[in-house]
Amino acid sequence: MASVSSTSSLGNTSLRGFGGMASGIDRDAIIEKMTLGTTTKISNRKKEVTKLQWKQEAYRNLSDKIIDISDKYASYTSTSNLKDPFTFAKNIITAMGREEATRFVKATGSSRLIDNISIKEVSQLATSTVLQSQKHINDNGIQTSLNGLTGTITPTSMLNGTKLIFGVQDGDGRWTNTKTFEFKDTYTVEEDGKEVTKKISYVPKMITDSVTGQERLETDEEFAERLTGELNEALKNSDIVIGEDKDSPGSGVKIGEAIKFQYDKANGTIGIVSGGKGLPGNYTINGASTALKALGYEKSGSVSVADLGPVSVDKFADSALRRPETIDYLTNKKLTFDYNGTRKEITLLTKDEADYLKNIEENYKFKKNPDGTNSTVETGYVDADGKLTESGKKKQLEDLATLIQGRLDRAFGENAVEAGVTDKGLSFKTGSSSGESSSVSILSNDTELLQNLGIAYGESNKVNTGGKLNQSALGIDASQYTLADSDELDLVINGERIHGLTKDSTIDDILSKINSTPGAGVKATYVDATGQFMLVASETGAGRNIELDSELANELFGVGTGDKAGQIVQGENAKIKVSYGNGVDVDLERSSNIFNLEGLNVTVSGIFGGDWNEINQADYDSNNKNHKVITNADGSKTYMKWTADSSETVTFSAKADVDGVVEKVKGFFEDFNALVADINGQVRTRPDSSFGPLTDEQKDEMDETSIENWENKAKQGILYGDSIIRDLSGDVEGIFTKLLSNGASYEDLKKIGISYSEDWSDGGTLVFDEAAFRSAMETDPEKVSNIFTGGGEVKKGLISIVDDTFTPYATRYASRNSNGNPGSGSYGRLIEMAGSEKKPTTLFKNEIYKQIEEMNKMIDKLQDQLKVEQDRYISQFTTMETLLNQMNTQSSYLSQLNG
């Protein structure tokens, strides 16, 4: 055994007294010997704790394997379940017959009538009720707000991208220790432990007017107030620190505490003010900062916050925003058009074209077209002052449309997409060469341009699902359809209110909320090809009505009237003719295309066994189940008759999943026998008394491999002689006998490849013959099933016997060991003794844990006792050393006197 280390148990005791400086005595070694009795007790208790932990580990190893076997082979939720007769049944079903019919039939499960039943025909599939809304198509196409080219257009930002620079200016005008805050269009905040990116709009945004309910641009005042709030949030979440000393982390002032933006609604001003703490020390703002000019300040040099003061909103807006002439703004701007899935980028106006449109005197005094042709007829486009009249402004916009049209024709083909002018302004729509199913949408990423044109990303001549209810294809004023006591939209389908929607919700939001509301009983989508919403009943079959129970539901999904009307097609039941043999046929009607047929789960996906043929109305008989009438989209009716074809009858064959079952059963015997081997090892292996737990000192003198080998040897036989393990071993050895006593014959077990090991040392091991088992599964799977699951003459199957044998020792379910007394169950003897990670509540509630706790308390007391003993001896030695030192001093002094 490894030798005991000589390391002192006292530690560095020289700090607690004199260690033999005067006496020359090895104080620590003496104290160690004097306290040896106590340290030995501590060492022995620690070894006992280690042994208990090893026992706990050994118990848990067995209990975990028992639970794993139960989970894997005795649980109905497991894919390796061997307790369910269905596992061994002939459950691989094949549809037999002509391919024209069998391709429409799939079946799983098992049936005792597998050889008798057949499906002669499926004359009708189960369908869902479908509501197709009226067509939401805007005949005017995509309508922009661009109603003229004179004047200015919505502003662009002069502030975005500018910088505010802070620093210290010396006597020579040089700036040092500078920090820069950039006016970016995004900033980051932390929400629920995650970083979230927020956006800042440096130009007026489109908002919904609280009075009219219509969308409009923010006023300068609204813009200033909103931007002030967003900039302050960006400052607050910035990590910029002004005046931070590199040698003093945490010094300085965060920019959000140094300055802030302030909007004064009463006085109509906006400005930069102190953020509370103000700029530190001699820090100021560099007057050359580009942001100052963009904010309306005219400063230079070193600028304090107090020097800034407020500026009027008008001055701020004039500085922060550029309001270009409309024609100049549109020059070289591009829009991305999507026409039936093909995307092209189209230039709105070139430089030369812009110059042409600006030349009012030359081009609009007389009739003149962009191609250069003109007429001597006066047009009335220009007034006496040389300014465009209203008709002149419209002609100028029409000329722009003509120029754009040429590029659209080259991109998508002539008249595929048409640019035009309506009473509201410039518009785009599908042209005369497009069918009704065609669509055009604008997908430009230039959000500023889209905003200036008054359209949203994805705007379409049909419904833009990324847009809101007020888009041109719908024209729904959402504010008219909110609940009286909240901003929530009043949308009710099939009596179920769709929650979580407001007037700002997009069409995608609305469809998503409907689809995630099970009570509505429908799935909603938008079909771009037809411009219609579609509601499909979640369940197939007849009688599944779709009710629109609010005005908004009718606006969106209503069928409507006229040439854009939609329709409701009622769901139908599946109709199947089944033969049971000997001329016994049964007509089934089911609400689903998946149904149970004498134990088989059958799915049909098409009509077979005959055809529907059109007949005259006069030959139609409403009482004949083989007749039906179809109502067409235009309201006309078609009369049909079913003509059967028995040559398409589908029969079924079944076989067991031999390969799959063999793998599961083989795995069971491997796991079971591995557990039996572990149990036998614990029962029969005697511990070697020459090996035991190592102390920390001993481990310090050994390498990792040596420690591992030592402890593996010391753990062997840790449960030798344990009464629980002896009982478990005996019960396991009796499993084969229990199986025989429950009705399984030795001959049948041998036929299916199961026998008991004849080697007495195997103690409960079961022998598995894979070849014999496979043969039995192929010829008599029912017999195999009976032995494993119980059935026939076998009262209880092998898996139940194994599970019942192990349950008193380890189980997930304490109720199984309750003897019918609720609340009094046990997770098994092994778990009661050592706990299990598979039942976390038992980890600190088991017998060994209690013993370890008591042992640790005893160790704590012994360690306290050891410290008292050590301190006492240290004190005594210190006193002795002090006296000896004094005596030595006196002796030296006397020697000096005697010369």
Taking alpha carbons only, the member of 821, 700, 798, 703 closest to residue 752 is 798
Query: Cα torsion for 615, 617, 623, 627, to the nearest 10°?
Result: 20
- Which amino acid is present at 827? Y
Q: How far is residue 402's CA from residue 418's CA, in Å, rounded to a whole number? A: 9
pLDDT above 90 covers what percent of the chain? 60
Strands 269-274 and 284-286: unpaired
Report the pLDDT value the prediction gives residue 43, as an integer from 0 to 100. Answer: 86
pLDDT at 202 over 50: yes
Mean pLDDT is highest, among 191-205, 235-249, 589-603, for 589-603
Report the pLDDT value the prediction gives residue 645, as an integer from 0 to 100. Answer: 95
Q: How far is residue 498's CA from residue 514's CA, in Å, rounded to a whole number? A: 6
Q: Which strand (E) or helix (H) includes residue 342?
A: strand 342-347
Q: How far is residue 802's CA from residue 154's CA, in Å, rounded to a whole number? A: 81
pLDDT band, very low/low/confident/very high, at 823 (cuts 50, 70, 90):
low
Instruction: Compute CA distances 197 → 156, 233, 239, 289, 407, whole Å.
Output: 22, 12, 15, 26, 38
Coil vs helix vs strand at 595: strand
pLDDT band, very low/low/confident/very high, at 28 (cuts 50, 70, 90):
confident
Q: Cβ(131)–Cβ(571) under 8 Å?
A: no
Instruction: Compute CA distances 805 → 528, 721, 738, 799, 842, whole Å.
Output: 64, 21, 10, 10, 21
Rounded to an integer, the average pLDDT of 630-651 is 90
């009027």: which residue's tokens?
Answer: 312
Q: How far is residue 125's CA from residue 494's CA, in Å, rounded to a whole number? A: 24
pLDDT above 70 covers what percent of the chain? 95
Q: How far is residue 492's CA from residue 480's CA, in Å, rounded to a whole number? A: 15
Beta bridge partners, 206, equal 217
3 vs 287, more confident:
287
What is the reported pTM? 0.63
Tally of CB atoms within 10 A around 891: 10
Instruction: Compute CA distances 577 → 122, 287, 542, 573, 631, whole Å.
Output: 7, 90, 18, 13, 25
581 CB-contact burial (10 Å; exposed 0-12 / middle 13-18 / buried 19+): exposed
The average confidence (pLDDT) of the chain is: 89
Taking alpha carbons only, the member of 423, 403, 399, 426 closest to residue 146 is 426
pLDDT band, very low/low/confident/very high, at 19 (cuts 50, 70, 90):
low
Q: How far is residue 731's CA from residue 803's CA, in Å, rounded to a whole number? A: 12
């007829």: which residue's tokens?
Answer: 377
pLDDT at 12 over 70: no
DSSP 369: -
Q: How far is residue 752's CA from residue 788's CA, in Å, rounded to a whole number? A: 10
- Which amino acid is present at 499? H
689 vs 736, more confident:
736
Q: How far is residue 471's CA from residue 555's CA, in Å, rounded to a whole number? A: 13
Report the pLDDT value the prediction gives residue 151, as an integer from 0 to 100. Answer: 75
Q: What is the pLDDT of residues 36-62, one digit of tens each?
A: 888 889 888 888 888 999 999 999 999
Coil vs helix vs strand at 863: helix
Q: How far is residue 141's CA from residue 422's CA, in Å, rounded to a whole number? A: 10
Q: What is the pLDDT of residues 60-113, one digit of tens each?
A: 999 999 999 999 999 999 999 999 998 999 889 999 999 999 999 999 988 889
Angle between helices 27-34 and 36-73 (to 10 degrees): 60
507 CB-contact burial (10 Å; exposed 0-12 / middle 13-18 / buried 19+): buried
Report the pLDDT value the prediction gives residue 39, as an integer from 0 to 100. Answer: 87
Tokens of 765: 């091991």
Report the pLDDT value the prediction gives residue 458, as an integer from 0 to 100. Answer: 86
pLDDT at 381 over 90: no
Q: Which ranges of 74-194 would DSSP assign to H, the alpha helix? A: 99-102
Tokens of 64: 């975990």
Tokens of 343: 């995307």
Tally of CB atoms within 10 A around 283: 22
Coil vs helix vs strand at 703: coil
> What is the radius of gyration, based on Cα positions, of the chain?
45
Beta bridge partners, 286, equal 302
Q: What is the pLDDT of residues 848-888, one digit of tens each?
A: 999 999 999 998 999 999 999 888 988 888 888 788 878 87
Q: Cβ(178)–Cβ(286) under 8 Å?
A: yes
Q: How far is residue 454's CA from residue 448's CA, in Å, rounded to a whole number? A: 10
Q: Cβ(784)–Cβ(778) under 8 Å?
A: no
Coil vs helix vs strand at 663: helix
Beta bridge partners, 679, equal none
Tally of CA atoms within 13 A in the half-sphere of 892 that contains its CB = 6
